[in-house]
A and B are shown apart, each in its own frame.
Chain A
Amino acid sequence: MRVAQLMLIAMSGLALAACKSKPPTLPDASNQPEQQSGQSGATSDTSVGQGTGDANQVLLESAKQAGTIIYFDYDRAEIKPEFVAIVTAHAKYLNASANNKVRLEGHSDERGSREYNIGLGERRAQAVRRALMLQGVTEAQITTVSYGEERPAVQGSDEAAYAKNRRVELVYGR
Chain B
Amino acid sequence: MTMLKLTTARIAVLLGALLFGAMAQAQLVVDITRGQENAVPVAVVPFGWTGTEVAPFDVAQVIASDLHRSGRFEPVDLDKMVDRPTTGQEIRFDEWRSYIRTDFIVVGKLMPQGADRYAAQFELYNVLNGQRLAGTEPGRELTATAPSLRALSHRISDIIYEKLTGVRGAFSTRIAYVTAEGTPPKQQYKLIVADYDGENAKIIRDQDEPIMSPAWSPDGSQLAYVSFEGRMSAIYVQTLRTAERTRVSARAGINGAPSWSPDGSTLALTLSRKDGDVDIYTLRLSSQELKRMTFDPGIDTEPTWSGDGRKLYFNSDRAGSPQIYEIDVASPERATRITFDGPYNARPRLSPDGKQLAVVLQDNGNFRIGAVDLKSRSVRVLSDGRQDESPSFAPNGAMVIYATQVRGRGRLATAGVDTQFQQTLKAQGDADQREPVWSPFPVGR
A residues at B contact (CB < 8 Å):
37-38, 103, 110-116, 118-120, 122-123, 125-126, 129, 139, 143-148, 150-157, 174
* Given A145-B231, A145-B232: A115 touches B212 (CB 8 Å cut-off): yes
The 4 closest A-B pairs by CB, nearest first: A119-B299, A126-B276, A150-B210, A38-B185
- The CA of A151 and the CA of B274, in the complex, are separated in Å by 22
Asked whether A157 and B254 contact (CB < 8 A) given A110-B387, A145-B231, the answer is: no
Query: Digit string of B276-309 for contact with A (CB within 8 Å is 1, else 0)?
Result: 1010000000000000000000010110000000
Task: List residues of chain A with CB within 8 A of the CB of B233.
Answer: 118, 145-146
Do the beta carbons of B270 and A114 come within 8 Å of each other? no
Q: How far is the CA of A124 from the CA of B273 in the complex (A)?
A: 15
Alpha-carbon distance A147/B317, docked complex (angstroms): 19
B184/A37 in contact, CB under 8 A: no
Is A38 within 8 A of B184, CB to CB? yes
In this complex, what residue of A is CB-closest to B366? A111
Q: Which residues of B contact A174 (CB under 8 A)?
A: 231
Known: A116-B302, A116-B322. A157 touches B405 (CB 8 A): yes
Chain B nearest CB from A35 CB (Å) reads: 12
Cβ of B408 within 8 Å of any chain A Cβ, yes or no, is yes
CA A148 to CA B301, docked complex, whole Å: 13
Listed A/B pairs (6) with beta-carbon separation below 8 Å = A110-B387, A114-B434, A115-B213, A116-B347, A123-B299, A150-B210
Given the interface pairs A147-B210, A150-B210, A155-B183, the reply to whether A116 lies near B231 with Cβ below 8 Å is: no
The answer, yes or no, to whether B228 is at the interface (CB within 8 Å) is yes
CA distance A157 to B406 in the complex (A): 12
Chain A residues with CB under 8 Å of B252's CB are 143
Contact of A115 among B232, B270, B387 (CB under 8 A): B270
Tell whether, in the assembled complex, residue B276 and residue A123 are in contact, meaning their CB atoms are under 8 Å apart: yes
Q: Is B48 an interface residue (CB 8 A)?
A: no
Closest partner residue, chain A, to B389 (CB atom): A113
B440 within 8 A of A: no
**Which residues does B use to contact A, with CB under 8 Å?**
180, 183-185, 187, 210, 212-213, 228, 231-233, 252-254, 256-257, 270, 272, 274, 276, 278, 299, 301-302, 315, 317, 322, 344, 346-347, 360, 367, 386-387, 389-390, 405, 408, 434-435
Knowing A38-B185, A110-B387, A144-B253, the reply to whether A119 touches B278 (Cβ < 8 A) is yes
- Verify A118–B185 contact, CB threshold 8 A: no
Interface centre among B184, B390, B405 (most CB of A within 10 A): B184
Shortest Cβ gap from A84 to chain B (Å): 20
Q: Which residue of chain B has the shortest Cβ distance to A152 in the bound complex?
A: B184
Please tell me if the beta carbons of B301 and A115 are within 8 angstroms of each other in the complex: yes
Find out whether the CB atom of A116 lies under 8 angstroms from the CB atom of B315: yes
Cα of A146 to Cα of B273 in the assembled complex, Å: 12
When chains A and B are docked, how far (Å) is the Cα of A146 from the Cα of B233?
8
Partner of A145, one of B228, B278, B302, B434: B228
Residue in B closest to A121 when the chains form the complex, CB atoms: B254
**How many interface contacts (CB-CB < 8 Å) are there between A and B?**
113
Judge whether A150 and B228 touch: CB under 8 Å: yes
Chain B neighbourhood of A146, CB < 8 A: 233, 253-254, 272
Roughly how many angstroms separate A155 CA and B233 CA in the complex, as a whole number?
Answer: 22
Instruction: Return the contact of A151 from the options B184, B347, B390 (Cβ within 8 A).
Output: B184
CA distance A126 to B254 in the complex (A): 12
| Bound complex: CA A174 to CA B346 (Å) | 34
In Å, the complex CA distance between A148 and B233 comes to 11
Quick check: A118 and B389 within 8 Å, CB to CB? no
Which residues of B are found within 8 Å of A116, using beta-carbon distances? 299, 301-302, 315, 317, 322, 346-347
Expressed in whole angstroms, the minimum distance between the Cβ of A78 and any Cβ of chain B is 15
Given known A-B contacts A129-B276, A145-B233, A157-B408, A111 and B301 have beta carbons under 8 A apart:
no
**Chain B min CB distance to A55 (Å):** 28
Complex-state Cα separation, A112 to B343, whole angstroms: 12
* Separation of A19 and B253 alpha carbons in the complex (Å): 47
What residues on A are CB-neighbors of B360 within 8 Å?
A: 112-113
Looking across the interface, which residue of chain B has its beta carbon closest to that of A103?
B231
Given contacts A114-B435, A153-B185, A155-B184, contact A119 B270 (CB under 8 A): yes
Q: What is the chain A residue whose CB lies nearest that of B403?
A: A114
CB A34 to nearest CB in B, in angstroms, measures 15
Cα A112 to Cα B185 in complex, Å, equals 21
Knowing A113-B346, A122-B272 touch, does A150 contact B212 (C-beta < 8 A)?
Answer: yes
Closest Cβ neighbor of B299 among chain A residues: A119
Give A131 to B130 CA distance when docked, in angstroms.
Answer: 77
A111:B387 contact, CB within 8 angstroms: yes
Would B228 and A122 count as touching, CB distance under 8 A? no
Question: Contact between B254 and A114 (Cβ–Cβ < 8 Å)?
Answer: no
Q: Which residues of A contact B185 (CB under 8 A)?
A: 37-38, 151-153
**Which single residue of chain A is at the shortest CB-CB distance from B408?**
A157
Chain B positions within 8 Å of A115 at CB level: 212-213, 256-257, 270, 301-302, 315, 347
